[in-house]
Chain A
Amino acid sequence: MEPDVSIESSARIQVAVLPIGTVPSNMLRDYYSMLLPLHRIPLSAISSFYTEHQKSPFAHQPWDSGFLQFKFVLGGSQPSPWEDFQSHRKTLAVIGICHCPSSPDLDSVIEQFSNSCKSYPSSLVARCFAFCPDDSQLEDGGKKGGNLRLFPPADRQTLEFHLNTMMQEVAASLLMEFEKWVLQAESSGTILKTPLDSQASLSSEEVIKAKKRRLGRAQKTIGDYCLLAGSPVDANAHYSTAVELARLTGDYFWHAGALEGSVCALLIDRMGQKDSILEDEVRYRYSSVILNYKKSQDNAQRVSPLSFELEATLKLARFLCRRELAKEVTELLTNAADGAKSLIDASDRLILFIEIARLYGSLGYERKAAFFTRQVAQLYLQQDNRLAAISALQVLALTTKAYHVQSRASMFENSIPHKGIGSSVADSGKKYPQSAVSLFESHWSTLQMVVLREILLSAVRAGDPLAAWSAAARLLRSYYPLITPVGQNGLASALKNSAERLPPGTRCADPALPFIRLHSFPLHPTQMDIVKRNTAREDWWAGSAPSGPFIYTPFSKGESNNVKKQELIWVVGEPVQVLVELANPCGFDLKVDSIYLSVHSGNFDAFPVSVSLPPNSSKVITLSGIPTSVGVVSVPGCIVHCFGVVTEHLFKDVDNLLLGAAQGLVLSDPFRCCGSPKLRNVSVPNISVVPPLPLLVSHVVGGDGAIILYEGEIRDVSICLANAGTVPVEQAHISLSGKNQDAVLSYSFEILQSCLPLKPGAEVILPVTLRAWQVGLVDPDTSAAKSASGSIMRHVKDGINPSLLIHYAGPLQTSGNPQSNGSNVPPGRRLVVPLHICVLPGLSFVKARLLSMEFPAHVGENLPKLADTNSNSNGGHADSQTKMDRLVKIDPFRGSWGLRFLELELSNPTDVVFDIRVTVKLENSSDEGNLFGDQDAAEYGYPQTRIDRDCSARVLVPLEHFKLPVLDDSFFMKDVQADGVGGRNTTFSEKNTKAELNACIKNLISRIKVSWHSGRNSSGELNIKDAVQAALQTSIMDVLLPDPLTFGFRLVRNDFDSEKPEAEKESNVDDVQSPSKDSVLAHEMTPMEVLVRNNTKDLIKMNLNVTCRDVAGENCVDGAKATVLWTGVLNDITMEIPPLKEVRQSFCLYFLVPGEYTLAAAAVINDANDILRTRARTNSADEPIFCRGPPYHVRVIGTA
């Protein structure tokens, strides 16, 4: 069988084109291409070369419209055994092609050519065309003559013209030879044999039959020559005779041949005009041709004419091959395909399938064509040699489109000519034709895998490593779920093997593994956030940056145009990062040698990284790069160097894949099967690159780790800001954000301001004072939960920490671009300096309670300082040490009746030691009784209390110093500085509201500070206000307010003058304890005084009673068994005390029995006013107000 047969091919003269000598293949191709258009030489053109020697047998030759047709066969072909049967199978002419520069010796050329011609005995005309001869050769060759034709060097057009002329000459010679042959055949007759004819000796009957047949066969052959000579009318006449004769003799084979020839003659005669009548005629005749060929097969011959039947079928199919007749053509082709089984010759089968595939292809049946193309490829693959494998590979490449397993490279090739036509609008919509269709077509996965596997196999055999790599990559990437792990490993090694045979750095259009999808575009890290600059405002950063914790604010709704598509700004020269997720769903370790972002815009330097992915795993990696120039950057995918080949992986493909997986249309989601969580579709934002900006970087001096503070600790931290950019910082502003902003006590904006402009490389140190907050106040869970979400919520990431927001910007106008207007100012930036404060629970406060202590005073010569219940007057001229002692030591003679302590119980759960120090700040305010003026804002420190780790301790804070000197309404007026005299207000009780009380308590509490320090540099304050307040709430009045009356006892010895100067009293402080002086002897008259002081600003009328009790608590003054005798009045002493004055009442006691006695004074106040009632907490106005003084001890010594 021959390829590319058609009905008209019977009229083509086969010409062998042979290279003579050495002809470079490109030159040969060039010369051959010049020859090819000359396949049809009009008869009218050859008349000049034609000389009619005898009367031409082609009587009806159409000299004006006819033509000779040639079929050039490069390299010639083996003589066909069937060439007698169909003359167009004969090689009737030989054309040699010689490239003179490479074969200088023309003689040898001529000799070679004549040798070559010998293998074509059927050849009638032989010419050798020698191209590009030099002058000597021209001269030489001119003499040679013969078959050599020299083509002087000239341009192509001239050469073509020259060649055309030569071919006309060849055509004329052939025509003359045909005439000669026909005349000879008509006169003498020839023996025409086909392989069908029995080689055995014929019986006599058969000899007679054969003679008859010979006539018919001769007529048929003459008809063939007429056809070749371009005379269809003559041919038809001969064919008709031949058909008749063949029918008569039952020579089916030749009958069919003659019929075929007649159809060809008919078509040539009609000059390609087709109408339905002609079509029907052709169809009818051809069906009988096919029938006759079929009949001729009946005899059990060694050689089968089946191929002629199939060829005839194909010829008819080709003739009919139109969309409207698809059904008929399909029927013909199906029948032809059926014949393939019976074909013995493999190459015949190959040609048959090729032709069937071509015809289906021209019919528009792509899948049918692909099917037969694959059959062809299988036939090729059965031949176990490299050339066949190459052919198989090429053939299979044709099927990939129908099976949707195209290499991306071929898709681009296909799409380019489309664009050239100008259908760019239509193309833009489907830039990646694979995307949509392949998603839906992928369920023919069995077929696709088979085709790809065959491509891989043939590519390996053909030694085309790139094609093998590409096929293996497609197979692995698209069908990994259907391939066993062993198969996956096999493919991986196929990829590696192929890559070994490729030069390093080879690119392939088809990506293999891994699957890559865009994970996220991290916005700028908070350190380099870019803020649009509003030049119109002083605070240029306002409104452009996301401020506050809300994702959505109604005020930003107006600028919704950038909500749809994220905008991203990259800065020239600053590294950027993109997160991508890689997945290796296969069962082998995947080593990605390098992966980097693929940026086509050329203004981006990407940094490659290498990754290795274990089987069935996915990994999120960071790809980085540096924008190099201002403009727009688009990131369509990644360039991956894996399995030895460089490929580009587009994000879009994987997105489509995932989309298909979501709809259940594709096999599997590679990311999900690797256990990666589902990710929302990340769209590639518009990325624009802006010119360099300043870049502040910050670090905390002394380490960037978290600042570990105990609760309440105060510490100074220095933050170093450096300009790491290439542009100076010209504007800057600091603000606070985040939670716990009050933890930042102060920061020094002025220092930063004074350093502006901050040149590149310069740095400034910013002091910040921090105070740790209470751990319990902030829920630590909230920060952990939210930190997982992406960059939008990055404020939350810092959780409970406050941060410093530094907005800064470079110069308004870049020097290179002076005409940039206001709308085009370079953006500013925002630096977020998170203050990573880690607050450790420090000392923990367990409880606070108020303790009251009662020490009775001794009665001595000195009068207790009734006037000064604040009792700090003693410390006036003592140093601070004694002051401090005073605060905690109790003067036994003075007593401290009603002294109250605030007890703070603290525990230390940490593993360091804390020292507690309580300081009390005393305000020297409303105290007209205070005799010393140097008490302003005095602070009293108590000795340090050390609390070891895991221990508890109690700290006592005496509250006695807070008593007010005067009981008046000023306390209730909350005005400590109230006018001492005029502040009288009878309606104060109504104002005694809780709020005022609380304010007063706060005032008190604020004066108590519990500070601690631990180690070398940790110190802080304990926040105990609430606890103290709770403890004090109930008894604040007792703590703060003095009793309305104070009572005191004194021994009166020799000196009755009680008004000793204070200083003198003070000198006795140390010896007040000596018993000799203060003790009382029994059986002696002891003169005593009771002093009553009015602490109010009102006159108080009262009845005073003095009682004396022994240790048993019995009243020893009254009663039957009185052991104490007295003079003077002890009971019901009515007296009036003017405001803030004191009154003395003298009496004498006579102790009969030595021992301890207790003196106590009490008074019933008559006509009490509201202040007193409130103080006494009486409910009714009628209730008498009873005032009791503290007890005083008297030690009586002596003998009973």
Chain B
Amino acid sequence: MATTACFIIVSRNDIPIYESEVGTATKREDAAQLHQFILHAALDIVQDLAWTTSAMYLKSIDRFNDLVVSVYVTAGHTRFMLLHDSRNDDGIKSFFQEVHELYIKILLNPLYLPGSRITSSHFDTKVRALARKYL
């Protein structure tokens, strides 16, 4: 498991709709802020990169210091962004794929308005479990 990891889902309107610190490192507020700043900045790169490949998993696309940003773009241009300091590429890919399935289940909920915040605690639990499993 990665010591630092921050997972965030950004809707197609560039709104973060889900965010969680999934690292094992003790949480520090300024670090969490920095993570968000890095992820926010990485959106610029994703925006260009997403159109250059047909793959959903964009691998690591950006880094700042020793923190790497890996991105997975769904067909609806929802972006799963993971900030991590580990290099477990396969694990991250699996993580993204499983989260994608969870996200699709969320989307299938008729009461969920696409693009709005994901508040399901079930989703949160599952994502954290996946993070423990793969990262």
The residues of A with any CB-CB pair to B shorter than 8 Å are 326-327, 330, 334, 337-338, 341, 360, 364-368, 370-372, 374, 403, 440-441, 443-444, 446-447, 450, 663-665
Closest Cβ of chain A: how far from B19's Cβ, in Å?
A: 8
B101 CB-CB contact with A under 8 Å? no
Q: Are A367 and B41 in contact (CB under 8 A)?
A: yes
Q: Are A441 and B15 in contact (CB under 8 A)?
A: yes
Closest Cβ of chain A: how far from B81's Cβ, in Å?
A: 12
Find A444's partner among B16, B44, B64, B117 (CB 8 Å cutoff).
B16
B63 CB-CB contact with A under 8 Å? yes
With a cutoff of 8 Å between Cβ atoms, the chain A residues found around residue B14 in the complex are 440-441
B40 CB-CB contact with A under 8 Å? yes
Q: Are A443 and B37 in contact (CB under 8 A)?
A: no
B125 CB-CB contact with A under 8 Å? no
Q: Are B40 and A367 in contact (CB under 8 A)?
A: yes
Known: A440-B15, A441-B15. A365 touches B37 (CB 8 A): no
Question: Which of A337, A372, A446 gathers the greatest number of chain B CB atoms within 10 Å?
Answer: A446
Find B15's partner among A330, A368, A443 (CB 8 Å cutoff).
A443
Find A447's partner among B13, B37, B52, B63 (CB 8 Å cutoff).
B37
B109 CB-CB contact with A under 8 Å? no
- C-alpha spacing A125/B32, complex, angstroms: 55
Find B62's partner among A334, A444, A446, A665 (CB 8 Å cutoff).
A334
Q: Are A447 and B36 in contact (CB under 8 A)?
A: yes
Q: Are A444 and B113 in contact (CB under 8 A)?
A: no
Q: Are A330 and B116 in contact (CB under 8 A)?
A: no
- C-alpha spacing A664/B40, complex, angstroms: 21
With a cutoff of 8 Å between Cβ atoms, the chain A residues found around residue B38 in the complex are 371
Known: A334-B63, A371-B38, A664-B117. A440 touches B44 (CB 8 A): no
Among residues of B, the one whose C-beta sits closest to the C-beta of A371 is B41
With a cutoff of 8 Å between Cβ atoms, the chain A residues found around residue B32 in the complex are 446
Q: Are A443 and B117 in contact (CB under 8 A)?
A: yes
Among residues of B, the one whose C-beta sits closest to the C-beta of A372 is B41
Q: Are A443 and B49 in contact (CB under 8 A)?
A: no
- C-alpha spacing A368/B15, complex, angstroms: 16
Q: Are A443 and B16 in contact (CB under 8 A)?
A: yes
Closest Cβ of chain A: how far from B41's Cβ, in Å?
A: 4
Q: Are A371 and B117 in contact (CB under 8 A)?
A: no
Q: Are A327 and B117 in contact (CB under 8 A)?
A: no
With a cutoff of 8 Å between Cβ atoms, the chain B residues found around residue A665 in the complex are 15, 116
B1 CB-CB contact with A under 8 Å? no
Closest Cβ of chain B: how far from A367's Cβ, in Å?
A: 5
B33 CB-CB contact with A under 8 Å? yes
B43 CB-CB contact with A under 8 Å? yes
Assuming A367-B44, A664-B117, what are 10 further A-B pairs, CB within 8 angstroms? A327-B49, A327-B52, A334-B62, A366-B44, A440-B14, A446-B33, A447-B37, A450-B33, A450-B37, A663-B113
Say what secondary structure dominates the interface of chain A: helix
**Number of chain B residues close to chain A: CB under 8 A:** 26
Known: A443-B117, A444-B36, A665-B116. A368 touches B41 (CB 8 A): yes
Closest Cβ of chain B: how far from A1132's Cβ, in Å?
A: 105
Known: A327-B49, A334-B62, A665-B116. A447 touches B44 (CB 8 A): no
B107 CB-CB contact with A under 8 Å? no
- 27 A-B Cβ contacts within 8 A? A326-B48, A327-B48, A327-B49, A327-B52, A334-B64, A337-B64, A341-B65, A365-B41, A368-B45, A371-B37, A371-B40, A371-B64, A372-B41, A374-B37, A440-B15, A441-B15, A443-B16, A443-B117, A444-B15, A444-B36, A446-B32, A446-B33, A447-B36, A447-B40, A450-B33, A450-B37, A664-B117
Among residues of B, the one whose C-beta sits closest to the C-beta of A338 is B65
- C-alpha spacing A367/B48, complex, angstroms: 13
Closest Cβ of chain B: how far from A329's Cβ, in Å?
A: 11
Among residues of A, the one whose C-beta sits closest to the C-beta of B14 is A441
Known: A366-B44, A450-B33, A664-B117. A440 touches B65 (CB 8 A): no
- C-alpha spacing A611/B58, complex, angstroms: 56
With a cutoff of 8 Å between Cβ atoms, the chain B residues found around residue A374 in the complex are 37
With a cutoff of 8 Å between Cβ atoms, the chain B residues found around residue A370 in the complex are 41
Find B17's partner among A443, A450, A663 (CB 8 Å cutoff).
A443
Closest Cβ of chain B: how far from A1130's Cβ, in Å?
A: 106
With a cutoff of 8 Å between Cβ atoms, the chain B residues found around residue A440 in the complex are 13-15
- C-alpha spacing A364/B38, complex, angstroms: 17
- C-alpha spacing A1044/B108, complex, angstroms: 98
- The contact string, 1 if C-beta is below 8 Å from chain A, for chain B 27-42, is 0000011001110111
- C-alpha spacing A326/B63, complex, angstroms: 15
- Of residues 61 through 75 on chain B, the ones whose CB sits less than 8 Å from some CB of chain A are 62-65
Q: Are B44 and A368 in contact (CB under 8 A)?
A: yes
- C-alpha spacing A367/B33, complex, angstroms: 15
With a cutoff of 8 Å between Cβ atoms, the chain B residues found around residue A371 in the complex are 37-38, 40-41, 64
Among residues of A, the one whose C-beta sits closest to the C-beta of B34 is A450
Among residues of A, the one whose C-beta sits closest to the C-beta of B64 is A337
Find B44's partner among A365, A441, A446, A450 (CB 8 Å cutoff).
A365
Q: Are A367 and B43 in contact (CB under 8 A)?
A: yes
Among residues of B, the one whose C-beta sits closest to the C-beta of A442 is B15
With a cutoff of 8 Å between Cβ atoms, the chain B residues found around residue A327 in the complex are 48-49, 52
Among residues of A, the one whose C-beta sits closest to the C-beta of B61 is A330
With a cutoff of 8 Å between Cβ atoms, the chain B residues found around residue A330 in the complex are 45, 62
With a cutoff of 8 Å between Cβ atoms, the chain A residues found around residue B17 in the complex are 443
Closest Cβ of chain B: how far from A645's Cβ, in Å?
A: 28
With a cutoff of 8 Å between Cβ atoms, the chain B residues found around residue A364 in the complex are 44
Nearest 6 interchain pairs by C-beta: A371-B41, A365-B44, A443-B15, A367-B44, A368-B44, A368-B41
- C-alpha spacing A334/B14, complex, angstroms: 22
Closest Cβ of chain A: how far from B85's Cβ, in Å?
A: 14
- C-alpha spacing A876/B117, complex, angstroms: 100
- C-alpha spacing A327/B63, complex, angstroms: 13
- Of residues 54 through 107 on chain B, the ones whose CB sits less than 8 Å from some CB of chain A are 62-65
With a cutoff of 8 Å between Cβ atoms, the chain A residues found around residue B42 in the complex are 367-368
Known: A338-B65, A450-B33, A664-B113. A444 touches B45 (CB 8 A): no
- C-alpha spacing A550/B63, complex, angstroms: 69
Known: A450-B33, A664-B116, A665-B116. A444 touches B40 (CB 8 A): yes
- C-alpha spacing A443/B41, complex, angstroms: 15
